[in-house]
């Protein structure tokens, strides 16, 4: 029923609950392809700040040639409005993207309120980074239309989203959310079931664990390790994932495994357990974290973090444009 209404009604309204960093970004993404967006926050001043920032960022992106979508920045901005009423935000929405802070009790409270306001076709999406959807949605009466839609940060410049169903999320919700995310240019990654860390953070944590071990054991400095990623592997990964990379690094995946499989198995078996430093329970753990922090502060002092984030986001925007241009020229060939 939902799929039908989405397809028949054309662009509808999307409700964004929570207008912080992630909510603001989702609003811009939906507006970029013509959806009307209603932004709600428990803190009304947050909504006004978000609306102001959205308008200026859209203009800035337009000037830099990194604006998403085809509508002019001013038109995109007009599609996003604020509201001080949760009901107004979610009622009649075809899709809701909740972006409140990462706290299970708060998420359950907010969703319980939304649950009583929506009609029986609205899809209910949460941006949660780490909470499995069953924990948030178990008691909702509309739980079969609940799904996690977890973006990468900053979502506007990292166009992907993980779609994580609860055991009771129906197939129509899984399929329609995937279609919707494709339509807004946020490349969907569908998980067959929920699991801690979803996919993105499981990969990120595996990588971080190896980095931690190599630095802790004095094999490499944090700065040199970052060079391996940003000027080595990361250059490739900005264009293709690790699976396509291995396919290309030999004569196909079978050949890659024939050539390197045993080495990979042996090296990986030498990797060691998850570093206890993450938990900071012992003096030694805390000393490891302090040393790592101090080393990173040499690269980016804390007072320069904001400046460096702005630099990163500009770089990501330019990279996104390059990737879109490459995809377009490949299509034209
Ligand atoms: P944030 O702290 O920037 O924004 C949260 C907003 O929610 C604030 O404006 C706050 O006033 C509002 N809020 C609090 N209680 C509310 C309520 N009851 N009703 C409506 N609004 C309420 O947080 P951020 O970073 O935007 O994160 C939001 C969600 O997105 C979290 O679940 C987080 O895990 C997830 N996420 C965050 C990423 C990140 O790197 N920041 C990346 C991907 C997902």
188 in ligand 1 pocket by Cβ < 6 Å? no
How much is the average pLDDT of 141-169? 97
CATH code for the domain defined by 2-190: 3.40.50.720
DSSP-assigned letter for residue 278: G
pLDDT band at 9 (very low <50, low <70, confident <90, very high): very low
Q: Dump pLDDT digits (tens) for 277-308.
A: 999 999 999 999 999 999 999 999 999 999 99
Looking at residue 332, its pLDDT comes to: 83
Domains 2-190 and 200-299 share a fold: no
pLDDT digits (tens, 9 = 90+) for 96-133: 999 999 999 999 999 999 999 998 999 999 999 999 99
pLDDT for position 12: 83
Phi, psi (rounded to 5 degrees) for 190: -95, 125
Please give the average per-residue pLDDT across 67-71, as a whole number: 92
Question: Does ligand 1 lie within 6 Å of residue 110's CB atom?
Answer: yes
Please state which architecture CATH assigns to domain 200-299: Orthogonal Bundle (1.10)
How far is ligand 1, taken at its centre, from the CA of residue 324, in Å?
Answer: 29
Instruction: Measure 101 CA to ligand 1 centroid, in angstroms.
Output: 4
Domain ranges of the chain: 2-190, 200-299
% of the chain with per-residue pLDDT over 70: 97
Give the pLDDT score at 10.
Answer: 57
Q: Is the CB of 114 under 6 A from ligand 1?
A: no
Would you say the CB of residue 41 lies under 6 angstroms from ligand 1? yes
| CA–CA distance, 146 with 169 (Å, rounded to integer) | 6
∠ Cα 327 329 331 (to 5°): 70
Kindly give the distance from the C-alpha atom of residue 325 to the centroid of ligand 1, in angstroms, as a whole number.
32
The model carries a pTM of 0.93
pLDDT for res 333: 78
157 close to 320: Cβ distance less than 8 angstroms: yes
Ligand 1 near 102 CB (within 6 A): yes
């Amino acid at each position: 029923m939902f799929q039908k209404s989405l397809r028949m009604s054309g662009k509808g309204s999307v409700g964004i609950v929570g207008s912080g960093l992630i909510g603001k970004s989702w609003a811009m993404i939906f507006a970029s392809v013509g959806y009307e967006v209603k932004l709600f926050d428990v803190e009304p001043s947050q909504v006004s700040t978000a609306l102001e920032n959205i308008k200026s960022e859209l203009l800035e992106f337009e000037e830099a040639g990194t604006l998403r979508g085809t509508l002019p920045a001013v038109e995109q901005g007009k599609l996003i409005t604020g509201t001080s009423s949760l009901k107004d935000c979610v009622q009649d929405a075809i899709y809701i993207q909740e972006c409140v802070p990462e706290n299970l009790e708060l998420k359950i409270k907010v969703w319980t309120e939304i649950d009583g306001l929506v009609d029986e076709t609205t899809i209910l999406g949460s941006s949660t980074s780490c909470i499995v959807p069953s924990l948030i949605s178990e008691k909702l009466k509309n739980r079969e239309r609940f799904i996690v839609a977890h973006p990468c940060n900053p979502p506007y410049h990292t166009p992907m989203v993980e779609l994580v169903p609860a055991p009771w999320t129906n197939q129509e919700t899984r399929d329609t959310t995937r279609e919707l995310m494709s339509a807004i240019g946020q490349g969907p990654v569908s998980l067959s079931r929920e699991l801690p860390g979803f996919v993105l953070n499981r990969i990120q944590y595996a990588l971080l664990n190896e980095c931690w071990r190599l630095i802790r054991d004095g094999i490499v400095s944090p700065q040199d390790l970052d060079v391996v990623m940003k000027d080595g592997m990361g250059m490739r990964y900005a264009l293709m994932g690790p699976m396509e990379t291995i396919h290309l690094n030999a004569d196909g995946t079978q050949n890659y495994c024939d050539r390197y499989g045993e080495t990979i198995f042996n090296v990986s078996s030498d990797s060691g357990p998850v570093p206890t430093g993450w938990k900071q329970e012992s003096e030694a753990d805390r000393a490891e974290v302090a040393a790592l922090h101090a080393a990173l502060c040499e690269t980016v002092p804390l007072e320069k973090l904001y400046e460096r984030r702005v630099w990163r986001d500009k770089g990501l925007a330019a990279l996104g444009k390059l990737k879109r241009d490459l995809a377009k020229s490949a299509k034209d060939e």
